[in-house]
């Protein structure tokens, strides 16, 4: 795959996707979104990929939002279609069945924060800054930011960020539950790879089951979500990895999961 706006590296079952437009603070123009769509589809279909890491080139930005010049040329109908396209791409990332980690190395604004929120986990450098500043442009978030943010941090806090366009520091984002962890900027990628490596040691089948159950259950009534969990618990038992995991525990050895 030829990529002009992304870098894609696969090592030890970990695919690292770097948005590589540092002069534009890694802004998401249409060409970059198209490449993200292709990369996500490729990683989803590649059995050698177990975990994905998303980050931005350079030290300033993860992804500092959309390409405003490109956006400003859209008609209202084109804008709605553009938002639906971005939502679909990020939705496929969220639902791909493989864990993803956003390594937020700088500004994660607008579409950049929306990309990070579509990932399974988020680790931020202590120098990172996050926000949904669309309101300052007379717009609202369009890539599901108004929907994922309240699900992560609650409606009240989400409304404050959406309505004020406020940019917050990494430590505040961690306190809100927007990011899972904050680390020294120099350690960010090492920590992301360490966490990704830990995930590759578990069953790919049950990792996918667990993530899907958490996400789907959050949208259900509690009793329905518990029923879903019980059913998926049974599905996990049907895998070879469950037998391997329990057998290894009883035999006091390390489990060797095959993802089946």
Q: How far is CA 7 from the centre of its chain?
A: 17
Compute φ and ψ for 14, nearest 5 degrees.
-110, 120
Q: Six-digit token pair at 84?
A: 């639906």
CA–CA–CA angle 5, 10, 13 (5° rounding): 140
Please calculate the CA angle 109-70-137 and round it to the nearest 5 degrees: 50
153's enclosing H/E stretch is helix 145-153
For β-strands 129-131 and 167-169, DSSP reports them as antiparallel
* Residue of 35, 94, 114, 211 marked active site: 114
Neighbour tally for 5: CB within 10 Å: 20
Among candidate residues 2, 35, 94, 134, the one labeled active-site is: 134
Look up 114 and say whether it is catalytic: yes
User: Is 2 one of the annotated active-site residues of the chain?
Assistant: no
- How far apart, in whole angstroms, are the C-alpha atoms of residue 107 and residue 231? 41
DSSP code for 14: E
Is the distance from CB of 41 to CB of 4 less than 8 angstroms?
A: no
- Strand order from edge to edge, sheet including 167-169: 61-64, 107-109, 129-131, 167-169
Active site residues: 114, 134
């Amino acid at each position: 795959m030829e990529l002009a706006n992304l870098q894609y590296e696969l090592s030890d079952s970990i695919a690292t996707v770097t948005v590589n437009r540092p002069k534009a603070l890694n802004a998401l123009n249409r060409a970059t979104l198209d490449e993200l769509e292709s990369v996500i589809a490729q990683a989803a279909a590649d059995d050698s990929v177990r975990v994905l890491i998303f980050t931005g080139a350079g030290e300033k930005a993860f992804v500092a939002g959309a390409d405003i010049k490109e956006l400003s040329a859209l008609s209202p109908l084109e804008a709605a279609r553009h938002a639906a396209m971005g939502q679909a791409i990020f939705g496929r990332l969220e639902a791909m069945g493989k864990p993803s980690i956003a390594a937020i190395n700088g500004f994660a604004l607008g579409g950049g924060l929306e990309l990070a929120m579509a990932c399974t986990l988020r680790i931020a450098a202590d120098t990172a800054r996050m926000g949904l500043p669309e309101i300052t442009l007379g717009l609202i978030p369009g890539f599901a930011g108004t929907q994922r943010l309240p699900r992560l941090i609650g409606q009240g806090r989400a409304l404050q960020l959406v309505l004020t366009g406020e940019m917050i520091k990494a430590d505040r984002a961690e306190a809100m539950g927007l990011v899972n962890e904050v680390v020294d900027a120099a350690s960010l990628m090492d920590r992301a790879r360490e966490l990704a490596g830990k995930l590759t040691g578990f069953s790919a089948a049950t990792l996918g089951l667990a993530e899907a159950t958490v996400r789907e259950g959050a949208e259900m009534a509690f009793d329905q979500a518990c029923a879903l969990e019980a059913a998926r618990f049974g599905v996990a038992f049907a895998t070879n990895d469950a037998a391997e995991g329990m057998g290894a525990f009883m035999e006091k050895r390390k489990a060797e999961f095959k993802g089946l």
